[in-house]
Structure 1
Amino acid sequence: MRLLQSNSDGSLTPTEFFEDDIPEYAILSHRWGPEEVTFRDLIDGTSKAKAGYNKIQFCGEQARRDGLEYFWVDTCCIDKSSSAELSEAINSMFRWYQKAARCYVYLSDVSIRKGKASDTSAECTWESAFRASKWFTRGWTLQELLAPRSVEFFSREGNRLGDKATLEQQINEITGIPITALREQHLSQFGIDERFLWAKSRQTTRGEDKTYSLLGIFDVHMPLIYGEGEAKAFQRLRETIDKPSYTLVSSSSSKKDLLRQLPNADKAPYNAYDRQDEPACLPNTRVDLLQEIYDWIDGKDGQDERCIFWLSGLAGTGKSTISRTVARRCSEQKRLGASFFFSKGDGDVSHAGKFFTSLAQQLAKSIPSLQRQICDAIVKQSDVANLSLLDQWRQFVLGPLSRLEERQQSYVLVIDALDECKDDNDVRTILKFLAEARSLETVRLRVFLTSRPEIPIRHGIRDIPQAEHQDFVLHDIQPSIIDHDISLFLEDNLGRIRQEWTLESNWPGEEALRQLVLYACGLFIWASTTCRFIREGKRFARQRLDVILQGSSSAVTVPEKHLNDIYLFVLKHSISSDYSDEEKKEACDMLKHILGSTIVLLSPLSTSALKRLLQVSKEDVDSTFNDLHSILDIPNDPVRQLRLHHPSFRDFLLSKDRCGDFWVDEKEAHQRLATNCIQLMSQALKKDICDIHAPGTRTSQVESSHLQECTPPEVQYACLYWVQHLQRSGSQASDGEEVHQFLQAHLLH
């Protein structure tokens, strides 16, 4: 594929790329005129003298504004003197438009300039010209409308008129193409005769092109034979489509597109990008427990009907680490069906809305023979996102699995931290449906499940016949075994710190390790938080270890007490001892404000978005978080989301008995966030915030990049969650004058 690159002197450089190396690019759609720039004109340097150069210049400038270095224009990116290159290009054209980051439609017969000064309807004149544009009558422009995800329309002056989403109603009325086809539904879902009807009244300069322009619409390849005539070309296309293999090939090519229609939680899998730094169990740790889990997976437990393994444990006992270890091993053995790691307050993985559809999408990838069954279910159901959990489970998971004809090997679903799913009723529903996996005959589905021993889960498990589940209580393991594993964990992590900072070969020493194991009191989260705290000390790592050893009581107490101690130690250490009492109080108040807001957020934000939402300075945020890396995952990139290393820190801050002066009043934190959201929306919201000029446009119809540009993350967060924060604060919308004023001014925005 040959792409153009604009140079600083205004010249254009054509560069050829092969399939795997093609960068992001923009693509132009237009009607050919009398003076188009050809590939030869580019090579000869005569392109600027032609009228068609203005369109190329427009495309390059618009691409640059959209952050794209390369762009493609059909007139000059194909060497039409080569019949082989022309044939390859026409057969690849649909795919090139489909893969373009942006498609710009240049309408040379649509102008936004006013007619007469007295014409009060002049602002709307472009729409009548848009409806009459000859672009909608040309053969090649049909695929240029349907193939790309992003299609933007521009007047001859280069002004943006709208895009395929915002103008879909007008385009539907002009072309007769269904709105569902304009919204990226795979074209194979539309009948062959219907697709031919879309092209019936369109014209091409050469008769054969009326057929060749439809190759991508029907997902077929054909050799080009110019001179064969329109009728012969059309006959060859029909013969290709009518071959028995066509339906199968078309169906196969559309499976991925159909599966993408399933709502998916991107952060759910064990190996999601956001989880890449989260550890698995170290070698020689959790040996007996992992072996028991693997024996259950293999059916060696003698209780083959036990389809659910429930691993319960207190906060910080290492459940998620075990889940990651099990999921990775199953994945390596090609036995992982799917995984879903819940996380409280983390968007799509904090609730059950996309739970079963995410499992279905992963199962389709893990079990190839299942793809057709799931795709058939998607085709039959037009509104996947709004289905009940029952219908999602039965139609996209249990139903397709039960219709598998050939006997399959066993597969494992790994569900971690079910207690962090925010609706207790959904938790019980999930457990009830997962137990139905026992009824499957052609595939054995095992469900490995972890959670804290919360009441909804205990009751849900109790409702499942005892013979169908196996339970393991993590905190019931013999203390000596847990201490051994924690010792290996500490030895490994502190050994890395020793190498990193070239400390003595015997550091930290056996006695220090023994004390640390004693202080951990069976909690892996204590050990991991301690290691992060020491590592963050960098060249002061030795001193930080000494302070922990001196500050902890040697008496064995309840595990929570030791976790409190390490969290309190980190928080106190983050406030400089050189501050005056007044400065310490101010720093503590700022820490509580920022941390309190962070832990009650209903969806994660980046540090840059958080500071704008809370209306605090970058310096305040940076200084507050500077020494908290041991308890918070703080990315170097300020636009990446901020996260807690472990949910136990949220529990700690919200408990007055546990954290003393650092206690966060949950209702007050929600009230402050509600106020911040309302203030931010009052400043940021306005009529037609995305400058679409098309009332009634849905958010889903607006290009994602354009939406992000007009409504940054903190504004989107405020719009989505201000009501929930207000509810959780215990306040009513009628209580505050500020709320009333906001609703009066912005409710319809």
Structure 2
Amino acid sequence: MTQRARSQRRSVNFLQSASNVVITGGSFTGIQETSGQNNSLEPLYAHVSSNAILNAGGRADPVRCHPGTRDEVMRIIEKWIDGDGDLSRRIFWLSGPAGAGKTAIIQTIAERCIQHGLPMANYFFFRADSTRNHAGSVVATLLYQILEFHPGLKANIATLLDTKPLVFDQSIRDQFKYLIDTPVRTVVDGASAPTQRLLLLIDGVDECSSETKHVQGDLLHALHHLASQQNSPFIILVASRAEPHLVMTFNEIGSSNDSIFLDENYHPSRDIRLFVAAEFDKVKRTHHLGRTLDGDWPSDADVDEIVEKSSGQFIYAATVMRFISSSSASPAHSLDRVRGIRPIVKNSPFAELDAIYTHILSQVEDWGSAKNILAGQLILPTVKASDAMMGLRCTIDLLLAPLGLTQSDIESNLSDLVAVVQYSRETENVVFYHASLRDFLCDESRSKALYIDLVLFAEKLARAHIPAMTNFYNVEIFCSIFALVKTDTPLLRDALISWKPWKPETLHNCEKDQWRMRTIGHQCIVALRGLYYPYDYSFYQTILRKWLAWFSDLEIPRRDLFNDDTPEANKIWDDIQRSRSGEKTASKVAFWKKLPSLSKIRPSMK
């Protein structure tokens, strides 16, 4: 925070009109309160969630930014708090993917506010804590903190609770109006000197009543109404994932808010590397088996792997380092378990991460479609890298089109998963915010019912692409997918038998198209052989004959399709050529037979 702002706080402080206040660390405690006032405030205390307050003893998730990390984000937020920017932007939205470190940033900001004497009240939502996963305790908890550093309001609040005993049953907007806005404005308007702005910190809005998302919208609208009133003393910092309904709500709020989305622009990998290196140093110093570690442990490659798997999100690195540091086993063994080198005996290092992924994925309305989209993105890089594609562009919507999924379907189905993935219009592919999500989805022991079997999906996708082979591009996509198929099914056999080979009327670029088809043909024959030759030679011959006949129609030379390692293909090819030669001879004979005798058409000699 700037020196100017700190100087201003010394002279103009919201605390200046308070009396009988003791500030100890991060807690505010009012004293010399009459028992009558205390009793009349019991309805308020009954609705307070103590676990939602900064540094509360009941919080199981206290986190803060590691020194030297997220400095750029901190500077931007503190500049906004200081009022150095647009004063009309009284709400700041900090958003980002799951595990990006939003709560750590909010907690660190809150602690810095306390250090600098900035009046602040906070509320930390947490889905797993029934005392702070709903909006019912928000106003009471914020008001409790305001009263702690401004006890002069207690009499007014006690009177209000006496005249409006059911105020906590009213809408969230009315609660803010009667319990916070009106009482605080009374003090602000009656102050002899300008009072400082009051900061409200609300973390994890997406974890508030997540089953009824309209409650989150109601809360944001109420906060906006509180901050947007003329001469309002309130500024509000909100943190959440960028869920679609929250994005729409902030769009409705409009220009009165500022925002940051935690992405690569803020150099998270650099910060994560700093954090991981510091944590490893701490493990080596403090772990009871630290003396058994080699001097060069961990290797640079070990650190690089953790940073890479984090994908710019702190939660993976934090989870891994917490597991290594808290396990009684050798830190070297714990790291090997994280890397998959050593089997996991009992406690998984990814239990916390898996719980987050499971919850997010379980919220999807159409998991079947979402599963196809995620599986498609998981195999897309392999498809694009295959010889058959030869560097041609392939997007997720083109890959999944035979499954009936359009670009619009993909965007819509992924809207519930914005905390972990996002559809990129720029690349027309799905972006995974967490590299570790791939590991989770493909490990049945971790993902359970959400497991994605890429072997089965490759078969399903290849089967869907067979009827779509009506141009060179679709043939190339099919062959690239078919090369990934490792399991045979009756449905796949039916599709291969039913396919009617497509033949272009013309080869627009004969030399180029034939070169492409040679590569495609070779890859397809190799895939067919690997799938059927050892297990069902008769079926293999049937399908191979169909494909070789098609390649022969396209005038692709034998030498470009297979070599001497596939004698059965050579034999079938020769049979096809003999048959074609016989057909041509028979056709010529039939042609000449239809012609009249030369003697009949030769003009008579006169």
Taking structure 1 as reference, are residues 390 and 440 closer, same or farther at Cα in structure 2, changes over 3 Å only?
closer
2:178 paired with 1:395: yes
SS of 2:50's partner is: coil
1:273 deviation in Å? Answer: 1.0
One-letter code aligned to 2:276: L
Residue 522 of structure 1: CA displacement? 0.8
Classify the secondary structure of the residue corresponding to 1:274. Answer: coil
Quick check: 1:294 aligned with 2:78?
yes
The alignment status of 1:257 with 2:257, answered yes or no, reads no
TM-score of the superposition, structure 1-length normalised? 0.41
Picking from 395, 408, 415, the partner of 2:202 is 415
Of the three residues 322, 330, 333, the one matched with 1:540 is 330
Whether the aligned pair in 2 keeps the contact of 1:365 and 1:371 (CA below 8 Å) is no
Counterpart mapping for 1:456-467 below 5 A: 456-466=245-255
Q: Does 1:446 align with 2:235?
A: yes
1:123-202 correspondence to structure 2 within 5 Å? none
Q: Within the alignment, does 1:485 sit opposite 2:256 as a pair?
A: no
Mapping of residues 62-461 of structure 1, within 5 Å: 252-262=34-44, 263-275=47-59, 278-301=62-85, 303-404=86-187, 405-406=190-191, 407-422=194-209, 423-439=212-228, 444-461=233-250
Q: Residue by residue, what CA displacement relative to the aligned partner does 1:602-628 show, whole Å, maximum 9, x if unpaired?
A: xxxxxxxxxxxxxxxxxxxxxxxxx14
Q: CA deviation at 1:410?
A: 1.6
Task: Report the CA distance between 1:354 and its aligned residue.
Answer: 1.4
Residue from 344, 351, 356 that aligns with 1:647: 356
Instruction: Give the CA deviation at 1:321.
Output: 0.8
Structure 2 residue matching 1:311: 3-state secondary structure:
strand
Displacement after TM superposition at 1:477 (Å)? 2.4
Helix, strand or coil for the counterpart of 1:438?
Answer: helix
**1:698-737 mapped onto 2 (5 Å cutoff):** none
Q: Distance in 2 between matches of 1:277 and 1:345?
A: 11
In 2: Cα distance, 1:315 partner to 1:306 partner: 25
CA distance in 2 between partners of 1:653 and 1:462 (Å): 27
CA contact (8 A) 1:428 1:460 kept: yes
CA contact (8 A) 1:536 1:629 kept: no
Paired with 1:394 and 1:417, the residues of 2 have a C-alpha distance of 22
- Residues 336 and 260 of structure 1, relative CA distance in 2, 3 Å threshold: farther
User: 5+ unaligned residues in a row in structure 1: which ranges?
Assistant: 1-248, 552-568, 576-626, 633-643, 667-749
State the distance in 1 between where 2:226 and 2:363 align: 38
Q: Quick one: structure 1 residues 259 and 510, their matched pair in 2 at CA, closer, same or farther if it must change by over 3 Å?
A: farther
CA distance in 2, matches of 1:645, 1:415: 26
Cα distance in 1 for residues equivalent to 2:177 and 2:88: 20
- Give the 3 Å change call, closer, same or farther, for CA 648–333 of structure 1 in structure 2: farther
Partner of 2:282: 496
Residues of 2 paired with 1:476 and 1:331: CA distance? Answer: 30
Q: Is the 8 A contact 2:226 2:232 kept in 1?
A: no
**Matched residues in 2 for 1:260 and 1:506: separation?**
59
Measure, in 2, the Cα distance between the counterparts of 1:334 and 1:645: 39
What CA distance in whole angstroms lies between the structure 2 residues aligned with 1:493 and 1:470? 33
The 1:544/1:489 distance shift into structure 2, 3 A limit, reads: same
1:294-342 residue CA offsets vs partner (Å, 9 max, x unmatched): 01000012x0121110011010111111111111111222324311111
Return 5+ residue gaps in structure 2 as ranges.
1-30, 372-440, 451-606
Q: Tell whether the 8 Å contact from 1:402 to 1:440 is kept in structure 2 after alignment.
A: no
Which deviations, in whole Å up to 9, do the C-alpha atoms of 1:378-427 show, x marking residues without a partner? 22212244222232111101111222221421221111110111131211
- CA distance 1:414–1:523, shift in 2 (3 Å): same
Change (3 A) 1:350 1:506: same
Secondary structure of 1:449's aligned partner? strand
Contact 1:402 1:441 in 2 (8 A): no
The alpha carbon displacement at 1:504 in A equals 3.7
Instruction: Give the partner amino acid of 2:125.
Output: F
1:211-252 per-residue CA deviation (whole Å, 9 max, x = no partner) reads xxxxxxxxxxxxxxxxxxxxxxxxxxxxxxxxxxxxxx9985
Decide which structure has the larger Cα Rg and report it.
Answer: 2
3-state SS in 1 of match to 2:54? coil
1:660 to 431, 444, 455: 444
Q: Which amino acid aligns with 1:544?
A: S
CA distance in 2: counterparts of 1:377 and 1:573, whole angstroms: 58
The whole-number CA distance in structure 2 between the counterparts of 1:514 and 1:254 is 61
Does structure 1 retain, via aligned residues, the 8 Å contact 2:69–2:271? yes
Separation in 2, partners of 1:442, 1:408: 11
Q: Letter of the aligned partner of 1:542 in structure 2?
A: A
Give CA-to-partner distance per residue, 1:453-472, whole Å, 9 cap, x none: 11221111111131x10011
CA separation of 1:277 and 1:431: change in aligned 2, threshold 3 A = closer
SS of corresponding position for 1:491 = helix
Corresponding residue SS for 1:448: strand
Q: Shift of residue 375 of structure 1? A: 2.8
* Match in the other structure for 1:516: 306
**Structure 1 SS opposite 2:88:** coil
Match of 2:500 in 1: none
Determine the C-alpha separation between the residues in 2 that align with 1:388 and 1:660. 44
CA distance in 2 between counterparts of 1:337 and 1:431 reads 18
Amino acid at match of 1:437: L
| Equivalences, count | 333
Checking the alignment, whether the CA contact within 8 Å between 1:319 and 1:451 is kept in structure 2 is yes
Give the letter aligned to residue 420 of structure 1: E
The structure with the largest helix share of the pair is 2
Change over 3 Å in CA distance of 1:441–1:401 after alignment to 2: farther
* 1:641-698 Cα deviation digits (max 9, x unpaired): xxx89734533688885253444569xxxxxxxxxxxxxxxxxxxxxxxxxxxxxxxx
Cα pair 1:486 1:517 within 8 Å, conserved: yes
Cα contact 1:337–1:367 (8 A) shared by 2: no
Q: Say if 1:285 and 1:485, in contact at 8 Å, map to a contact too.
A: yes
Query: Are the structure 2 counterparts of residues 443 and 255 from structure 1 closer, same or farther at C-alpha, using a change threshold of 3 Å?
Result: farther
Aligned-pair Cα RMSD in Å: 2.9
Q: Identify the residue that residue 622 of structure 1 maps to in structure 2.
A: none
> Which structure carries more relative contact order (alpha carbon 8 Å, separation 6+)?
2
SS at match of 1:477: helix
- Counterpart CA distance in 2 for 1:378 and 1:289 is 40
Q: 1:663 to 1:631 in 2, by over 3 A?
A: closer
* Structure 2 equivalent of residue 573 of structure 1: 344
Q: Deviations over 1:348-390 (max 9, x none)?
A: 2111111112211111113334333333322221224422223
